[in-house]
Chains A and B, each alone.
Chain A
């Protein structure tokens, strides 16, 4: 199921398979995935558990290697993590012994940025996520939502062109989640990046994305791809609009009523917002 490579694609996934050994047997986490994502696109990946969406993200992040197939970023094969790809984890993964500021500075000091500039850049992104009052606080003093905002600032600080987000708001309460979604879009509109956002929440997937990729399990594969032609900036009212509801229902059916045997959707063309 190979398609002609789209030269404009920021991220290209080509026939990626990932097989894990599982008690003497093989578990096919990804059974041949093809996907192109354009520059500055906001793509959400939604699907039931076990559909391999996190595996796909780990492969893009360079934390796992595909069993076969290729993952390309800017036309180059992914070989380990890289500074052009920032990753945001569901469990925040803040270094608990470092203050908010030191956490945000971590990637910058790794890159050898001088102290003064490091601090300025860190403070800029701390302000961007609204944590300036907590710059010197340790993570244990922060709520879940604040921790994730700190993690977002930390990922942004190294100036990646791609943000990979693995169910970043999955552990938060509904209200905090909605606020963070809006804040993420505001941030994204100010600092455009290519975003791949994994979620199991259909509302979230529709609200954020240019394009929703629906995955199916056993084997993990792309089941459907839906363009979301709703204008940015997206507001509270949009969530109540008929267009939103229609898209949401369509994707909901796609996620939760996947008929067995239906072939995976062919690789869609790249749409850029």
Chain B
């Protein structure tokens, strides 16, 4: 019997203990990184040029200087900590509730029939539009901010989990059944792993959505946080601080996304892609 091994394109490095190692050269990756770096430098250059050309924006050094000031005063760290705490709390609560609810909807048609209309309804309302209601009902402390972020993450993740469960290959379920598995085992050993890729994609999109809701959530009478700092800076026409806030949000969002992407690769490297 000829052992014809088909290496999956691109992500062979994910396969732990696989008989064939990645064949795509490291050269491709290095070239990609060089291009990325070039794009960043180019972007910064254009920004700088626009600032010098008279556009009313601060130059990169001015922003860097402001970031240094905010950092040494400890304000930036406090803001980042406050924002991260809100995003992560809302996001984790959102996914923690979304995953079981999504499974319930995918597994039991009754649950789906009862829950789906509400999910679809709330999905059409931007989480930001809930803010006025949240303030009236929950006051102006942390609760409404976290609630709005929670809602944003929950709605994205629940749909994705549900879809993942519904899309589980029937043949795999049949294969488990003929191997003697009952409903409970099929759920834990087939449905859960098979829908993991969907859940993780849902989490990534949910995190993006939570992060996007942050600034608006921090408009609600916050005392600290990146969104609050930017709002505050707006009053004083403090453009460098606004830039520091924006760039921090971007970098933190990117880092969190990379962490989730890494987790996704580790957990779902078994997938046959492309």
A107 at the interface (CB under 8 A from B): yes
A81 touches B5 (CB 8 A): no
A149 nearest in chain B by CB position: B1
Which of B82-90, B148-156, B167-175 is found at the contact surface with chain A? B167-175
**Complex partner residue of A140 from B172, B194, B271, CB under 8 angstroms:** B271
Among A79-98, those with CB < 8 Å from B are 80-83, 85-87, 89, 91, 93-98
**Complex partner residue of B180 from A96, A130, A146, A158, CB under 8 angstroms:** A158
Inter-chain contacts of B176 with A (CB < 8 A)? 95, 106, 110
A141 touches B19 (CB 8 A): yes
**Complex partner residue of B20 from A85, A86, A141, CB under 8 angstroms:** A141
A87 to B178, CA, bound (A): 7
Inter-chain contacts of B190 with A (CB < 8 A)? 95
Inter-chain contacts of B26 with A (CB < 8 A)? none
Count residues of B near A (Cβ-Cβ below 8 Å): 35
B270 at the interface (CB under 8 A from A): yes
B19 touches A137 (CB 8 A): yes
A97 touches B20 (CB 8 A): no
A90 nearest in chain B by CB position: B171
Given known contacts A81-B177, A110-B181, A141-B6, is B272 in contact with A96 (CB within 8 Å)? yes
B8 at the interface (CB under 8 A from A): yes
A136 touches B17 (CB 8 A): yes
A211 to B20, CA, bound (A): 42
Given known contacts A95-B190, A143-B3, is B175 in contact with A110 (CB within 8 Å)? no
A94 to B47, CA, bound (A): 53
A140 touches B272 (CB 8 A): yes
Among A118-146, those with CB < 8 Å from B are 130, 133-134, 136-143, 145-146
How distant is B189 from chain A, measured CB to nearest CB, in Å?
8
**Complex partner residue of A141 from B7, B189, B193, CB under 8 angstroms:** B7
B185 at the interface (CB under 8 A from A): yes
**Complex partner residue of B178 from A86, A97, A111, A140, CB under 8 angstroms:** A86
Given known contacts A81-B180, A85-B178, is B185 in contact with A137 (CB within 8 Å)? no
Inter-chain contacts of A141 with B (CB < 8 A)? 5-8, 15, 18-20
Q: Which of A89, A95, A130, A134 has the most CB of B within 10 A?
A: A95
A141 to B9, CA, bound (A): 11
B72 at the interface (CB under 8 A from A): no
B270 touches A96 (CB 8 A): yes
A110 touches B19 (CB 8 A): no
B1 touches A183 (CB 8 A): yes
A63 touches B177 (CB 8 A): yes
A93 touches B171 (CB 8 A): yes
A218 at the interface (CB under 8 A from B): no
Among A48-85, those with CB < 8 Å from B are 61-63, 80-83, 85
B3 touches A107 (CB 8 A): no
A81 to B270, CA, bound (A): 28
How distant is B273 from chain A, measured CB to nearest CB, in Å?
9
Write the residues of chain A forming the contact surface with B, with a CB cutoff of 8 angstroms.
61-63, 80-83, 85-87, 89, 91, 93-99, 106-107, 110-111, 130, 133-134, 136-143, 145-146, 149, 154, 158, 176, 179-180, 183
A-B contact pairs, 25 of them (CB 8 A): A62-B178, A63-B177, A85-B178, A86-B178, A87-B175, A89-B175, A91-B171, A93-B174, A95-B189, A96-B271, A97-B194, A107-B179, A110-B185, A130-B1, A136-B17, A138-B270, A139-B272, A140-B6, A140-B270, A141-B7, A141-B8, A142-B6, A143-B3, A143-B5, A179-B1
Beyond the given pairs A134-B19, A141-B18, 4 more chain A to chain B contacts, judged by CB atoms under 8 angstroms and listed by A's residue number, are: A87-B175, A106-B189, A107-B179, A138-B18
- Top 10 A-B pairs, shortest CB-CB distance: A107-B179, A93-B175, A143-B4, A87-B178, A97-B270, A110-B180, A81-B178, A93-B171, A140-B272, A97-B193
